[in-house]
Amino acid sequence: MKWKKTAAYAITAVLMSGMLAGCMTKGSGSEAAPKATLKDGKYDPVLTITTAKQLDENAGKYLNGESLNDNVMTRWGVEKLGIKIETTLLGGDAGNYNTKLRLALTGSEKLPDLIPVYDTSLASDLIQSGQVRDITEDIKNFMPDRLKEIYKQYPTTFNPVIQDGKVYGMAISPNLTEGEVMLIRQDWLDKLNLKAPTTIDEFEKVIAAFTNNDPDGNGKKDTYGFDFSGKESYNTGWVSDPVMIFSAYTGKSLPGQWYNDNGKLTYGSVAEGNKEALAKLRDWYSKGYLNKELATQGAWDALADFTEGKAGIIIGRPWLYGSVKDVEKNIPGAKIAAYPTIKGVKEATTYQSGQLNDGVFMFNKDFNNMEAFFLYYDKLYDAAFGTGDFKYGFAKGYDYDIVDGKVVFDSAHFNQPLQNAPSPSKMLFTKNAPTVSEAGKTYYDLANGTKPDTGPLMSAAAADQTTKNGYVISYENRDALLPNAFNGPPTKTMQSSWEQLTTMEKETFTKIIYSKEPLEAYDDFVKQWHEKGGTQITEEVNDWYRQANETDVLSSMGLK
């Protein structure tokens, strides 16, 4: 959770015009273009909506000369709805993306029509700038009923974009994420006559054996037990996550996020139990049970050791198996299995960070085609419901095919086989395909006898068995997911002190784990955290929480 004020405000408008050219100059701003009218569900002439994208996740995965703005999904929008989505890439990572969007707040260039925002500080600054649209009435007047039913279930996702009772954005595809599972080298467990761990003591026994007992049988001490990332925080929330170890001692108070403790929000990194968790990680690190570069490896980078057969356990969402399963191809006999996370020391389970949405949509104040946006956005949900144009998937020959009358999801068996099929869901302005069912429920239903007679169920049935098992485990343990209780804009003291506090937190935790500071340094951190703004921030966060619960914007949006 970062609200870092970037130095990008000082970058010149000349630089900005080069980076933002394209999506910042079209769409709602073209007064010369004839007005498009909606007839029989399609606009004529074609209406353009401009947007920005954090990165091209489909780079190198387009077919037959397709590109960011000319692919199977952009053509579908034009042909079926008369809506053209025109995207400009803004940076290769979240920080760069935010920097480039901030440039539009300092110069003469326009923001795109549709602005995906992934940072609450940036969302707040956009509202303060007066350059984004109040969409309260738009939601009431134009949001289709089935979308309204979805958004009613996630009222707190509006918190970051509410000001003075007005709504300046909406969650991107709200739905509770899937939980995390442990992916373990099953062949290592079998070779060493071990069972998957269910407690912290059993976990320690397993990772010690994975480090010391030559599980790969090569006669060298070149393996270790637990692979995770500590570069950005000790709570990644998606992959390479060590938060399970902290939760084993802290319960529902997770590092880096706020917890609603009987109506009062408390910050997890200063909660009781963190010191014990750090002591355990410190001991494991000194014994070689953990990856030596954990403080410098990002979440995605940390996967490498597991994929290369050096590490025995990694934690992540169930789809992570698809990203690390190459180890089974590259190493004879290698086998990965999915297991639930361990139990806590004081509680029956360990908890994880759960997300309700991946950023928010905001809109240029001059964008006047909200009805068109909602038409397009609602149609994307057909894939989640298994209806309309997307009954089985987004595009025949891309994420599914029909071979000899049967729906096939394995691209290697398409009519025109593909080894690395592009994902149409990554071509959408939502960045990921919208979902509606509880994460993992389709897999759980299949495991309990439901017939795969809809597109979503058929797709789930075609997944790797390890992936299926992981999703079932995730669904069965969904009560362990804890969304951050504070998702509002940075408070007054956060704006001046939060960067310093989070830097101090990260450095203290890492130095303790690396044995560069004594364990008692944690106590000093907690004391300084409170003295240097933490106490005031806690008061402000709780004031925000009370006000958020007292503010009724759902009625004004027609969501009650």
Contacts of 478 by beta carbon, 8 Å cutoff, 6+ apart: 176, 179, 438, 439, 440
Task: Provide the angle, in degrees to the nearest 10, between the axes of the packed helices 120-129 and 94-103.
Answer: 10
Angstrom distance (rounded) from CA 167 to CA 236: 29
Is the Cβ–Cβ distance between 227 and 240 less than 8 Å?
yes
Angstrom distance (rounded) from CA 297 to CA 473: 27
Residue 34 has what pLDDT? 78
Instruction: Give start and end residues of each alpha helix (H) in 365-491.
Output: 370-380, 382-385, 441-447, 455-461, 465-476
Residue 99 has what pLDDT? 85
Angstrom distance (rounded) from CA 257 to CA 130: 29
Backbone angles phi, psi at 426, to 5 degrees: -85, -5
Q: What's at 105, amino acid-wise?
A: L
Residue 92 has what pLDDT? 66
Angstrom distance (rounded) from CA 303 to CA 290: 13
Residue 65 has what pLDDT? 86
Q: Could you write out the DSSP letters of every residue in 361-376?
A: EEEBTT---HHHHHHH
- Note down pLDDT in tens along the chain; length 560 residues: 434 333 333 333 333 334 444 444 444 444 556 789 999 999 999 999 999 988 766 665 788 889 999 999 999 999 999 999 999 888 766 667 888 888 877 765 678 999 999 999 999 999 999 999 999 999 999 999 999 999 999 999 999 999 999 999 999 999 999 999 999 999 999 999 999 999 999 999 999 999 999 999 999 999 999 999 999 899 999 999 999 999 999 999 999 999 999 999 999 999 999 999 999 999 999 999 999 999 999 999 999 999 999 999 999 999 999 999 999 999 999 999 999 999 999 889 999 999 999 899 999 999 999 999 999 999 999 999 999 999 999 999 999 999 999 999 999 999 999 988 889 999 999 988 999 989 999 999 999 999 999 999 999 999 999 999 999 999 999 999 999 999 999 999 999 999 999 999 999 999 999 999 999 999 999 999 999 999 999 999 999 999 998 889 999 999 98
Residue 431 has what pLDDT? 86
Residue 352 has what pLDDT? 97
Angstrom distance (rounded) from CA 551 to CA 516: 47
Residue 481 has what pLDDT? 97
Residue 93 has what pLDDT? 66
The one-character DSSP state at 559 is -
Is the Cβ–Cβ distance between 356 and 482 less than 8 Å?
no
Contacts of 75 by beta carbon, 8 Å cutoff, 6+ apart: none
Q: What's at 381, amino acid-wise?
A: Y
Three-class secondary structure assignment of 89-117: ECCCCHHHHHHHHHHCCCCCCCCCCEEEE
Residue 18 has what pLDDT? 42
Beta strands 336-339 and 162-163 are unpaired
Residue 465 has what pLDDT? 97
Distances (CA, A) of 331 to 9, 310, 320, 336: 50, 11, 18, 11
Cα 461 to its chain centre, rounded Å, is: 24
Is the Cβ–Cβ distance between 281 and 245 less than 8 Å?
yes
Residue 122 has what pLDDT? 93
* Residue labelled with tokens 């057909």: 382
